[in-house]
Structure 1
Amino acid sequence: MRYWATMTSVVLRGVALFGFFLAASVSHLRAGPPPASYRIAGIVVDSVTGQSLEGAEVTIAPVTALDDAQTFLTSASGRFLFANLPAGKYRLMASRRGYATQAFHQHEGYWISIAVGPGLDSEHIRFPLAPSSVITGVVIDEWGDALRDAKVLLFQQSMFDGSRTLRNINQTTTDDQGRYRFAHLQSGTYAVAVYARPWYTQAQGQYDVFTSEHPLTTSSENNTMDGALQHNFAENPLFDVVYPVTFFPSVTSLSEAARLSLAPGATETADFQLRAVPSVHLRVRVPVGPPTPVTVTSEAPGSEGNAQETSSGTSEMELSADVALTLKIGEGYTDQLDPIRNEIAPGLIELSGIPPGEINLTAASMQGSILNPDAISYAARAKTLNVSGDTEVDLSSHGDPASVSGVVLSSQFHPALANAEQPSGDQPSTGRAALIRAMEAASSSVTITFRSLKTSDSYDAAISPEGKFSFTGSPLPVGSYEVEFPVQSGLRVLSLEATGATISGHTIEIPAGQPVNIVVHAAEANCTLSGFALKNGKPVAGAMVLLVPQDPGHDMSLYHRDQSDSDGSFTMSPLFPGRYILLAIENGWDLEWADPKIMFQYLPAGQPLELKPGASLTLNAKVQ
């Protein structure tokens, strides 16, 4: 009996041990091999001397999740290493005290991303880091006193839309000693401008605000005196002055500005002395709409203190056009102006305190009853002026202008919404709240632009969620107009149809005195192009990949660029449907490719292609 018991125990133990190994084996088979991991490694060197840089901060982040960054400080030999990385593409950046922060082989807004994965070498990177340069200076007024809080603008010469130009890249303000400083700059060509207001005209503006918010007395006599005092402030030539936008050295246009050539690690000084000049006065005539009824409802405690009494009243509001001014300074910078306003009569506004220069004037108007905000249409007219003295501008309608309206056909808009019933709990409000809501909705809408071929004035209308637009509040004068969408809208005019007007391509001829209805067929930027830049069958990193439209016209938004990554790959998105030529140019980042004479050298070797709506195309580019 003991024998059988012993044998049974041995068998059970053997079965248990066999089960353990079997389970371990099955578990191992299910788990499979561990996922492959990769490394990014290399050395950071001074771009001028070639010496390795200790203590440089190197950062990587997946191109699909740039917030998910990792950082490594280089060793005494300048080396860095990131291990256990999944396959993919990574943005590589580096910085160090005395050096400008840079992405790997960065050109403008493009750089080489590091591709890691099977068969890819990502462990022998040589990252050249350029010593940073500095531009500094002092700004003083006509009496030699420090000018604080002056706005200082920095322009850098770079390629933009295929042409070499000076564009604004940064701005700062002067401190209480009038000093400013731009640090961490890469070597290159720069220009500097200063824009400020005389301190005593700022004091006048503060006085106007104070007297409007804190009147000294309510008596008519003192109110009359106070109003006269404010009038004297505005009329006093001492206060009616501005500082013109000034470029170094003491010139008033970017074309005359000195070019500061910064070598790596260099410091340049640009000092300014500003001198006040009389401000520009603009007298602007704008359209005045018919009076609009406004219902105002108020609630107050009842006589017992516990019941609410509701009262309402109706008044009329004249919805005349609202005028806004922006000042353009060089390329790439605009500043919203806040001039002194004086409404001389309905539809006639005088604006003062304006510096000389290139001014963009916009008159915006709304059409419709604010009792029904959803039916309000928003339109604006913009005009560019180069002003050096007092100027009169007439934006009111003359002759027999046309009433223009229409619809945009695109998946961004939904005509069915026009017939949908509004929920009972979301009825339109009235009064000031309705007006504010309508203005906010208009400002956030996509707009369509009609640009006059004769005057270059632009007329903008907001597009409703149903795709409708109207220029009823800002009738269009007789003439020819180019129809277009803003670049950021992701839309492009494909074709036009019209009743009451003549169409030619993307141009419409508006006649006098009759309604015009337009149907705009819009193309959407919903295509993608990807591939590899190849030379002799091998991938090339850092090539400039350029997509050239076969019929560009003057629409630069149709051109697209990318920089090939470490594995030679590139991706362009979103793109408009159409016919293109694909180019890849080695060391092409300094080419002025907008110049037809330069492009004709490369186009014959390019690859023609066509993108259908919504297409995702893969095509390799031959590097020239």
Structure 2
Amino acid sequence: MSQLAANLRIALLTILALCCVVVPDGTASAQTTTKPSPYRITGTVVSSTDGSPVRHCHLTPSLANATAPGPGVMGARATGRGGGPPNRFSPVVANNSVDADDNGHFSITLPSPGAWTLTANARGYASGAYEQHQEYSSSIVLTPEAPTYDLVFHLSPEASITGIVLDEAGEPVRNAQVALHIVPAPLPDGSQPQVGGVRGFTQTDDRGIYEFANLLPEDNFRITVQARPWYAATAQQGRGNNVTDTSSTLDPSLDVTYPLLWFPGVDDPTQAETITVHAGETYQADFHLTPIPSIHLRILTPASVDANGRAIPAFPVFERIIPGGGGNFGGGGLMPIVNMNQPGGQMEVSGLSPGTYQVRVQSQNGGPPRSAVVEITSGSVRTLDMSAISSSTANVTILLDGLPDSGPGENSIQVSLTDTETGQQFFPTNGPMNNFAGPANQRRRPGSPPPDRPAPRRGRVIEVPPGQYEVSLFAGRANAYLTAITAQSADVHGRHVTVRAGDSTLTLHVAAGLATLTGNVSLHDKPTVGATVLLVPASLGDPGSFASIGQDQSNTDGSFDIAGITPGQYILIAIDHGWQINWSDPSTLRRYLTQGTPVDLTSSEKLKQKIEAQTP
């Protein structure tokens, strides 16, 4: 090839390469250009109190999870696509959080369509989701037909509760444990839930001051405080080793403790003050503690020996039962100090104040733990024999009937008993339930012949004080719901059971096939965002009914999703921004039901229903 021909070839290749770069529709260009996503959420973040822009607010989108458990499973509130606090069910979080500008404006580009939950955080404001009300919020629904959505995000200035804890001399009490209990709002049927849970714990600092910050406005709370005098004899003895019996030699002025108090300083939870916090408000809740004589409890633990015949000490675990605490034993009260270990398996616990305690001793020989519920009154000195606890505790064995057998971990079901008087919630001491017909090594393989006689069913034991309880079933992936409860040595009325001291058995009859209801809410032929959606059982008020009220909040396209519904007949209603309704009067719900839509849900049915919103 001549030099001229070679130069012409190089020039031609150079021109072709330049054409590939500059031609908009060229093949090479198309392979290297990424088309921007059309899905965006834009808007402005403003203060809910005065409408002023919230500067530099941080916003995080997350793809809402539609698999949350519903009311038919738990007998509680549903959470659908838009329902539930942010990140409760670990949604997919987009990696494109943004900060609003000086005027509160923001724009977020999202990678895909879907129902997006948008949360906001800003200094001095309570963190929350878009249109959040109590446990519910509205998702922003983006589709190929509607890829963008512009909104106004109302963020509330944070509320807080603070206070100082002082002793009898007016001096600050440091390291006092303060608990913030949630008081749930009345349910739509007018009933008041007993269990609200604990919002959080904190301790006083060296100035005796405590604080609960970042509280959502309009929520209701109650506060408890418990502490011990720094000079108390039990506190000093608890630091020693091999303490001997000194109960008879203790200085009475040092053998003292502080009672558990509810704000504003009462020991009766029914007299506690309910605190409602408002946007931007700081509520002051102070306590003054006065010591009382410490109560002593001697405990006789079951005798256990090791392989060499030596006695094995068994140390009891104490937890205080706080009415309405929302946990197994009040959400983690202070542990009393065990300040004595006497020979012969006898121990003494001091530093106790009046109240109800759960005492548990783990068996040292592999047997089941022993547990007792003891009511301690002022001035009492008593002995608790853990070998004879049946007289003070109801040992309730829970059995399941109705689900097919499955492998380990599948169809795992949790059962709880909730005290209808105190709201205390109790769970099995030996873990969640699996509906096995018998022990794992006796389960029948598919296709194998049945055994000569059925294997004994495996149960779970819940230890509770004698009384009346509501049975709740957390079905997980079992897709199960209650159909009936039968009992031995207990009385049953629908979900409610009355148990006495000693042993009893509850058989929970369950069925698989929870229903799902989805749909859209409109008002004047337009989608309604933030509407309260209620699915009310036609059997509401029947003590023998196992159905409960389902609830959700409509999204930006008016959609709602209530999952985990017990099959049956219901009435569906939607109320435009109905979150401020006072449901304490049962007649309020009846007024809306007269304009509701009847819905009949069968087992495993997935029904879609449009509904017109009512005005509050």
TM-score greater than 0.5 by the shorter chain: yes
The structure-2 alpha-carbon separation of the partners of 1:243 and 1:43, relative to structure 1 and needing over 3 Å to count, comes to same
| Correspondent of 1:227 among 229, 239, 244 | 244
The structure-2 alpha-carbon separation of the partners of 1:556 and 1:578, relative to structure 1 and needing over 3 Å to count, comes to closer
How well do the aligned residues superpose, as a CA RMSD in angstroms?
5.3
Q: Distance in 2 between matches of 1:353 and 1:410?
A: 48
| Sequence identity percentage | 27
| Correspondent of 1:197 among 223, 228, 251 | 228
Counterpart of 1:583? Answer: 573
Question: For 1:578-610, what per-residue CA distance to the aligned partner results, in whole angstroms no more than 9, with x for missing partners?
Answer: 443322222322334475322211223333334
Confirm or deny: 8 A CA contact 1:379 1:473 kept in the other structure. no
The structure-2 alpha-carbon separation of the partners of 1:559 and 1:412, relative to structure 1 and needing over 3 Å to count, comes to farther
Q: Distance in 2 between matches of 1:496 and 1:381?
A: 25
Matches within 5 A, 1:461-540: 462=430, 465=434, 466=436, 468-469=457-458, 484-487=471-474, 492-495=481-484, 520-523=508-511, 526-540=514-528
Cα offset for 1:314? Answer: 6.8
Secondary structure of the residue aligned to 1:599 is helix
Higher relative contact order, chain-length normalized (CA < 8 Å, sep 6+) = 2
Cα offset for 1:25? Answer: 9.2
Confirm or deny: 8 A CA contact 1:141 1:147 kept in the other structure. yes
Structure 1 letter corresponding to 2:153: F
Q: Distance in 1 between matches of 2:354 and 2:149?
A: 56
Q: Distance in 2 between matches of 1:518 and 1:458?
A: 15
Q: Distance in 1 between matches of 2:396 and 2:207?
A: 55
Q: Distance in 1 between matches of 2:398 and 2:269?
A: 41
| TM-score of the superposed pair, with normalisation by structure 2 | 0.68
Matches within 5 A, 1:169-184: 169-184=199-214
Matches within 5 A, 1:142-541: 142-155=168-181, 158-159=184-185, 161-162=187-188, 168-188=198-218, 190-201=221-232, 204-205=234-235, 207-208=237-238, 210-212=240-242, 227-228=244-245, 230-231=246-247, 235-258=250-273, 262-281=277-296, 296=307, 324-328=318-322, 331-332=325-326, 333-340=330-337, 351-357=349-355, 359-361=356-358, 378=368, 385=375, 387-388=377-378, 390=380, 396-397=389-390, 407-411=399-403, 414=406, 446=414, 462=430, 465=434, 466=436, 468-469=457-458, 484-487=471-474, 492-495=481-484, 520-523=508-511, 526-541=514-529
Cα offset for 1:486? Answer: 4.9
Q: Distance in 2 between matches of 1:522 and 1:101?
A: 39
Confirm or deny: 8 A CA contact 1:532 1:564 kept in the other structure. yes
The structure-2 alpha-carbon separation of the partners of 1:533 and 1:343, relative to structure 1 and needing over 3 Å to count, comes to farther
Return the structure number with greater helix share.
1
Question: For 1:73-120, what per-residue CA distance to the aligned partner results, in whole angstroms no more than 9, with x for missing partners?
Answer: 222322100125411111112222222222112111111111112343
Secondary structure of the residue aligned to 1:107 is coil
Confirm or deny: 8 A CA contact 1:447 1:461 kept in the other structure. no
2:556 paired with 1:559: no
The structure-2 alpha-carbon separation of the partners of 1:561 and 1:175, relative to structure 1 and needing over 3 Å to count, comes to same
The structure-2 alpha-carbon separation of the partners of 1:55 and 1:232, relative to structure 1 and needing over 3 Å to count, comes to same
Structure 2 letter corresponding to 1:179: I
Question: For 1:119-147, what per-residue CA distance to the aligned partner results, in whole angstroms no more than 9, with x for missing partners?
Answer: 43743211122222333332222223222
The structure-2 alpha-carbon separation of the partners of 1:254 and 1:481, relative to structure 1 and needing over 3 Å to count, comes to closer
Query: Which moved further from structure 2: 326-335 or 134-143?
Result: 326-335
Counterpart of 1:310? Answer: none
Aligned length: 533
2:131 paired with 1:105: yes
Confirm or deny: 8 A CA contact 1:381 1:458 kept in the other structure. no
Q: Distance in 2 between matches of 1:536 and 1:152?
A: 49
2:109 paired with 1:83: yes
Q: Distance in 1 between matches of 2:324 and 2:465?
A: 30
Q: Distance in 2 between matches of 1:185 and 1:506?
A: 34
2:593 paired with 1:603: yes
Matches within 5 A, 1:46-65: 46-64=47-65, 65=91
Question: For 1:377-427, what per-residue CA distance to the aligned partner results, in whole angstroms no more than 9, with x for missing partners?
Answer: x5877758585553868974469x99997852354854x99xxxxxxxxxx
Cα offset for 1:47? Answer: 1.8
| TM-score of the superposed pair, with normalisation by structure 1 | 0.67
Counterpart of 1:300? Answer: none
Counterpart of 1:427? Answer: none
Structure 2 letter corresponding to 1:408: L
Cα offset for 1:328? Answer: 0.8
Counterpart of 1:431? Answer: none
The structure-2 alpha-carbon separation of the partners of 1:245 and 1:605, relative to structure 1 and needing over 3 Å to count, comes to same
Q: Distance in 1 between matches of 2:396 and 2:136?
A: 42
Structure 1 letter corresponding to 2:200: N
The structure-2 alpha-carbon separation of the partners of 1:354 and 1:204, relative to structure 1 and needing over 3 Å to count, comes to closer
The structure-2 alpha-carbon separation of the partners of 1:622 and 1:346, relative to structure 1 and needing over 3 Å to count, comes to farther
Q: Distance in 1 between matches of 2:433 and 2:221?
A: 43
Secondary structure of the residue aligned to 1:108 is coil
Structure 1 letter corresponding to 2:580: D
The structure number with the bigger radius of gyration is 1
Confirm or deny: 8 A CA contact 2:372 2:389 kept in the other structure. no
Return the structure number with greater strand share.
1
Counterpart of 2:440? Answer: none
Q: Distance in 1 between matches of 2:397 and 2:109?
A: 61
The structure-2 alpha-carbon separation of the partners of 1:70 and 1:232, relative to structure 1 and needing over 3 Å to count, comes to farther
Q: Distance in 1 between matches of 2:32 and 2:561?
A: 35
Q: Distance in 2 between matches of 1:314 and 1:473?
A: 32
Secondary structure of the residue aligned to 2:231 is helix
Q: Distance in 2 between matches of 1:115 and 1:612?
A: 28
The structure-2 alpha-carbon separation of the partners of 1:107 and 1:384, relative to structure 1 and needing over 3 Å to count, comes to farther
The structure-2 alpha-carbon separation of the partners of 1:486 and 1:74, relative to structure 1 and needing over 3 Å to count, comes to same
Q: Distance in 2 between matches of 1:157 and 1:475?
A: 23
Confirm or deny: 8 A CA contact 2:494 2:546 kept in the other structure. no
The structure-2 alpha-carbon separation of the partners of 1:498 and 1:146, relative to structure 1 and needing over 3 Å to count, comes to closer
Q: Which runs of 5+ in 1 are unaligned?
A: 1-8, 213-225, 297-312, 418-440
Q: Distance in 2 between matches of 1:526 and 1:365?
A: 39
2:557 paired with 1:571: no
Secondary structure of the residue aligned to 1:275 is coil
2:38 paired with 1:44: no
Q: Distance in 2 between matches of 1:482 and 1:258?
A: 25
Q: Distance in 2 between matches of 1:125 and 1:361?
A: 51
Q: Distance in 2 between matches of 1:398 and 1:498?
A: 20
Confirm or deny: 8 A CA contact 1:524 1:576 kept in the other structure. no
2:532 paired with 1:544: yes
| Correspondent of 1:619 among 605, 609, 614 | 609
Q: Distance in 2 between matches of 1:261 and 1:143?
A: 30
Q: Distance in 2 between matches of 1:481 and 1:47?
A: 43
Cα offset for 1:474? Answer: 8.8
Secondary structure of the residue aligned to 1:597 is helix
The structure-2 alpha-carbon separation of the partners of 1:365 and 1:196, relative to structure 1 and needing over 3 Å to count, comes to closer
Question: For 1:240-293, what per-residue CA distance to the aligned partner results, in whole angstroms no more than 9, with x for missing partners?
Answer: 32212234433334554455554433333333221111234557899x7xx88x
2:105 paired with 1:116: no
The structure-2 alpha-carbon separation of the partners of 1:501 and 1:107, relative to structure 1 and needing over 3 Å to count, comes to closer
